[in-house]
Amino acid sequence: MSLLNQIKKNSLLRKTIAFLAGLRFGFPGRNLTIIGITGTTGKTTTAFMIKNILEANGIKTGLISTAGYYIGDEIIYPEAYMSSTTPDLFFLYRLLKKIAKKDLKAPGTAPDPFFLQYLLRKMVRKGLKAVVIEVSSFGLMYERVYGLNFSVAVLTNISFNHHIALHGNMNNYVSAKLKLFRNLKLTSVAVLPKKSEYFDLFAKNTQAQILSFGLDKTCDLWMDIQEITKTENKVIIHYKNESFSINLPLPGLFNIFNALAAIGAVHKFSFSAEKLKRGLESLKNIPGRLEYINGKQPFSIIVDKANTPAAFCGIIDFIKILNPKKKIAVYGNFGESPLKEREKLAEIATNFFDLTIITEDDPQEESPQKSIDDFLNFIKKKNIVSNKYLSFLNRKEAIQEAIKQANKGDLIVILGRGNEKTMDYGTKVVPFDDRQVVKEVLKEQKYL
């Protein structure tokens, strides 16, 4: 077996790499309160909420997320690591890049151990006291966070998604996420969604204090929804035998659940209701999550990361509140997405949107046309009328067509990539940011 395959398959080797990474950088995590977040959707938004609560109350907090690596006012991307890597680490870093089968041009959820420890040390040196880490199923499976002492672990939710195929099956996917909770100490806190079918499984597999969140009184943290609008959620939070209102400046029912998870994540800090309100109500827009692109156009454009069936359904619930005249979606099937998920996304999109435009999205080693053909084959099988869909091999052209088709009062949602800044073609990675492309097109069409 090759060295690469040994590292891929051998948990002990991966743990050794993680330990060496900690040793190399002086185990910086020991000087930080570490909060880990895992789940199918909602990780990034919840992470930003936690960070905002902590920083609004004087606790300098770092963030390791798909949206970037935040160290105070500084945002770091993986290419910055290359210039800081000493020769003894360069080989291991290149090796891990090969294992990932791609250049690390954009932030990864739970990066390789050496980069992760480098970031943690940088946070400690800058005087940060806490860090919020998005912990992916792959980060857990490949022991990237091995050796870190998590004070809090949050599960946002678990649902069908493209990562399951890469894990082999749903059981393996769930087992990977369970690792985070199995390794918690008695003094740690596990924040779990009560409505999840996996609640009991996770609760039984951790020795940490359990905080449940959800919609009713059976939860430790629950809410009464007062009003959901296109710009905010007005809710009453019930927590620690008290109730308080919050005007959350992030719309969508899913963001209320994210807010409950965030409140649970800071349980150990014993913040008052006023301090929790301060942290959540002062939250700004999160990059690439329900992000409006505003110009002079008479219609609305939203860019969002949604790329799973559950995330698509969450976006649709939000769009129903907006009640636009015409609903246009642009999205692409990406390289690692299995056919079953592609067909489910196509079903959800074509059932709800007036026009669905299918295009490319990180095709990796796969031909971009293959993902489009999967969509078109589903369309043919379901006898969907021709005015309900279009296809474009080039993603910019797809966005151009969506904007061309839109009229006053319509809504365009561009899904799947959020704030991602590159497109992965397997042999090459090229710059591509949906938000910037939208602005380019708006400028071309005299809307900006």
Predicted local confidence at residue 367, as pLDDT: 86
Which residue type sits at 303? Answer: V
Predicted local confidence at residue 53, as pLDDT: 98
Predicted local confidence at residue 166, as pLDDT: 72
CB 379 within 8 A of CB 351: no
Predicted local confidence at residue 106, as pLDDT: 45
With a cut of 60, say whether residue 101 has pLDDT above it.
Answer: no
Predicted local confidence at residue 9, as pLDDT: 60
Rounded average pLDDT over 57-69: 94
Q: What is the CATH number of domain 3-281?
A: 3.40.1190.10
Give the confidence band of 192 by pLDDT, cuts at 50, 70, 90.
very high
* pLDDT mean across residues, the chain: 89
pLDDT tens for each residue of 373-401: 999 999 999 999 999 999 999 999 999 99
Predicted local confidence at residue 335, as pLDDT: 65
With a cut of 70, say whether residue 206 has pLDDT above it.
Answer: yes
Give the range among 13-17, 55-59, 347-351 with minimum mean pLDDT: 13-17
Separation of CA 251 from chain center: 17
Predicted local confidence at residue 365, as pLDDT: 81
Predicted local confidence at residue 79, as pLDDT: 47
CA angle 176, 105, 346 (to 5 degrees): 60
With a cut of 70, say whether residue 200 has pLDDT above it.
Answer: yes
Please enumerate in sequence order all residues whose Cβ is within 8 A of that of 350, keeping only pairs 6 or more positions apart, or say none: 356, 379, 382, 384, 388, 389
Secondary structure of the chain in HEC code, one letter for each residue: CCHHHHHHHCHHHHHHHHHHHHHHCCCHHHHCEEEEEECCCCHHHHHHHHHHHHHHCCCCEEEEECCEEEECCEEECHHHHHHHCCHHHHHHHHHHHHHHCCCCCCCCCCCCHHHHHHHHHHHHHCCCCEEEEECCHHHHHCCCCCCCCEEEEEECCCCCCCHHHHHCCHHHHHHHHHHHHHCCCCCCEEEEECCCCCHHHHHHCCCCEEEEEECCCCCCEEEEEEEECCCCEEEEEEECCEEEEEEECCCCHHHHHHHHHHHHHCHHHCCCHHHHHHHHHCCCCCCCCCEECCCCCCCEEEEECCCCHHHHHHHHHHHHHHCCCCEEEEEEECCCCCHHHHHHHHHHHHHHCCEEEEEECCCCCCCHHHHHHHHHHHHHHHCCCHHHEEECCCHHHHHHHHHHHCCCCCEEEEECCCCCCEEECCCCEEECCHHHHHHHHHHHCCCC
Give the range among 167-176, 267-276, 299-308 with minimum mean pLDDT: 167-176
Rounded Cα distance, 128 and 206, in Å:
28
Q: Which two tokens stand for residue 227?
A: 């009003």
For 143-182, b/e burial (b = at least 16 CB within 10 A) is: bbbbbbebbbbbbbbbbbbbbbeebeeeeebbbbbbbbbe
Domain 291-444 has CATH 1.20.1270.10: no
Assign residue 26 a region (left: φ > 0; alpha: ψ between -120 and 50; beta: otherwise): left
pLDDT tens for each residue of 291-326: 999 999 999 999 999 999 999 999 999 999 999 999
Rounded average pLDDT over 32-48: 95
Predicted local confidence at residue 159, as pLDDT: 81
Confirm whether 3-281 and 291-444 share one CATH topology.
no
Rounded Cα distance, 111 and 170, in Å:
23
Between 269 and 85, the more confident residue is 269
**pTM (whole model) above 0.75:** yes
Give the confidence band of 8 by pLDDT, cuts at 50, 70, 90.
low
Predicted local confidence at residue 86, as pLDDT: 43
Between 168 and 15, the more confident residue is 15
Rounded average pLDDT over 45-58: 97
> Of 306, 436, 299, 294, whose CA–CA distance to 354 is shortest?
299
Rounded Cα distance, 65 and 50, in Å:
12
What are the domain boundaries of the chain? 3-281, 291-444
Predicted local confidence at residue 161, as pLDDT: 65
Q: Percent of the chain beyond pLDDT 70?
A: 89
